[in-house]
Amino acid sequence: MPTPVRVRFAPSPTGPLHIGGVRTALYNYLFAKQHNGTFIVRIEDTDQTRYVPGAEDYIHEALAWAGLTVDEGVHAGGNYGPYRQSERKDLYLKYAEELVAKGKAYYAFDTPEELEQWRKQRKEAGDHTPQYGMHTRMALKNSLTLSKEEVKARLAAGEPYVIRAQFEPGHTYAFHDSIREEVRFASEELDDKVLFKADGMPTYHLANVVDDHLMAISHVIRGEEWLSSTPLHVFLYEAFGWEPPTFAHLPLILKPEGKGKLSKRDGDRMGFPVFPLEWKDPQTGEVAMGYREEGYIPEAFINMLAFLGWNPGTEQELFSLSGLIEAFSLERVGKGGARFDPDKAKWFNEQYLRTTADDVLAGQLAQQIDTNLSTSQLSTICGLMKERVSFVQDIATSGKYFFEAPTAYDAKMVKKKWKEHSPTIVKELRERFAATDFTAEALEATFKAYIEEKEIGFGAGMLPLRLVITGVGGGPSLFAIMEVIGKEEALRRIDIGVDAITQL
Ligand code: GLU
């Protein structure tokens, strides 16, 4: 039987989740679902210095909003818990000690001050990037240089120590990456990374590998920034005698200009969100915009994210989550960075908006605005406007005339389209509308009969009429607008509008 697919999204709660993180979660989710596997979320919170209150809740909320249902995790539970590393902290030391016993790691007693001093000296001596590793460790204070007795005594006295990986020269750490194929690192390039810290917590590297093993993770799908840590992880799997998972390192999401990693600053500069949900920094109080609050439909957001690094190899761009589950493959994820395009993000939302039922949009709109209009009126408005806007809330601004009489009239339009005869035409039309059933069809028929009878052009009647009723020159069918606002209001607007524009 093939090994069951078990993948994990392993964020550190150090701030709001970047959309790159949501994309990592999405690819893990798609891969899991496609293989009838399990999507696990593990919170990697062993770095106490980087803990940010609210960040973990934010992660759970963002995944839920995006529709990525978690199979195992802090809230979903599961047989491999706990799923928060801080709650697993007692189990890591024994693994670090096992590595020491196997000669794959060692205790180091250098204090931070001593290391700083050492680095400074190395730099002065011409070594610009001093590394604690195979070339330097014999000059430092660790269990490879101190006597056994002294090491024992220091440990017994409770002296602070760290445990470091012990790389030896002449080894190559190679692994197959599903996206990058063969990746190789020579041990000489690697430094003796800290695995276990003086505060009694494992580092990311140790906890990540131990947990991936204990949680029976089959595939590690994560961001490119972790590629250079993978040789250390492969070393750890070998040292423990464990089978490593399959690795897949996802490309970076790049700035709209195409160079450099997409950052919050790009979003601020160009006015688009880089976070799924709004985030208020607990320290500075600064608020960063979120896709949810900007009015993005979660399915559109997910569709857009899926295409940041992957493509189906066909022209098709619109995919539901289940369509993505079917179409996704790691082989079709690119190696090169994926350029983020804020206009394309909007485009995806527009496509989803157009296919959302009018009454669903009406329900959403009703939550965002204060109005006396009925649900069925709102639903008609949404139907008339959804082709013309990017977000549901834009309906209330672009289609302001549905909700209130104009308070101003587009000056350019007035200048161009309000002619000498316009007041007469609009007033005569008013009289005929007063005797018409207020349905779009009947109003249109009345209008057409009038312009034919008077032998005037369509625009000569329509544009002045549109101006007095809506204040602007464009929009959906004016007769449909009139039907929604009703006879009394439409006639009132005509009366006020003709006077107001004539006096301009
Ligand atoms: N905790 C790491 C992060 O914040 C996880 C990297 C991994 O998936 O191994 O991205």
- 10 Å CB burial of residue 497 (0-12, 13-18, 19+) is buried
Ligand 1 pocket test: which of 226, 227, 232 has the largest number of ligand atoms within 8 Å of its C-beta?
226
- 293 vs 308: CA distance, rounded Å: 21
- 11 vs 87: CA distance, rounded Å: 15
Query: What pLDDT tens digit does each residue of the chain (504 aa) get?
Result: 678 999 999 999 999 999 999 999 999 999 999 999 999 999 999 988 888 999 999 999 999 999 999 999 999 999 999 999 999 999 999 999 999 999 999 999 999 999 999 999 999 999 999 999 999 999 999 999 999 999 999 999 999 999 999 999 999 999 999 999 899 999 999 999 999 999 999 999 999 999 999 999 999 999 999 999 999 999 999 999 999 999 999 999 999 998 999 999 999 999 999 999 999 999 999 999 999 999 999 999 999 999 999 999 999 999 999 999 999 999 999 999 999 999 999 999 999 999 999 999 999 999 989 988 999 999 999 999 999 999 999 999 999 999 999 999 999 999 999 999 999 999 999 999 999 999 999 999 999 999 999 999 999 999 999 999 999 999 999 999 999 999 999 999 999 999 999 988
Nearest 5°: phi and psi at 38? -120, 130
In the residue annotation, 416 being an active-site residue is answered as no
Name the residue with the closest Cα to ligand 1, atom 5.
10
Per-residue pLDDT, 355 = 96
Ligand 1 pocket test: which of 7, 44, 84, 86 has the largest number of ligand atoms within 8 Å of its C-beta?
44
Domain 6-74+205-254 matching CATH 3.40.50.620: the answer reads yes
For residue 203 and ligand 1, the question of a CB distance below 6 A is answered with: no
Specify the fold of 90-196.
Answer: Glutamyl-tRNA Synthetase; domain 3 (3.90.800)
CA of 44 to the centre of ligand 1 (A): 7
- 467 vs 474: CA distance, rounded Å: 9
For residue 218 and ligand 1, the question of a CB distance below 6 A is answered with: no
CA of 12 to the centre of ligand 1 (A): 7
Give the number of the atom of ligand 1 that is nearest the alpha carbon of residue 229: 9
CA of 11 to the centre of ligand 1 (A): 5
List beta partners, residue 181: 177
Per-residue pLDDT, 504 = 81
Q: How far, CA to CA in Å, does 130 sit from each of 116, 164, 175, 373, 484?
A: 10, 16, 27, 70, 73
Per-residue pLDDT, 2 = 77
pTM as predicted: 0.92
Class of domain 264-352: mainly alpha
Name the residue with the closest Cα to ligand 1, atom 10.
11
* Number of residues written out for the chain: 504
Q: The domain at 411-502 falls in which architecture?
A: Orthogonal Bundle (1.10)
Active-site option among 89, 197, 259, 264: 264
Ligand 1 pocket test: which of 7, 12, 51 has the largest number of ligand atoms within 8 Å of its C-beta?
12
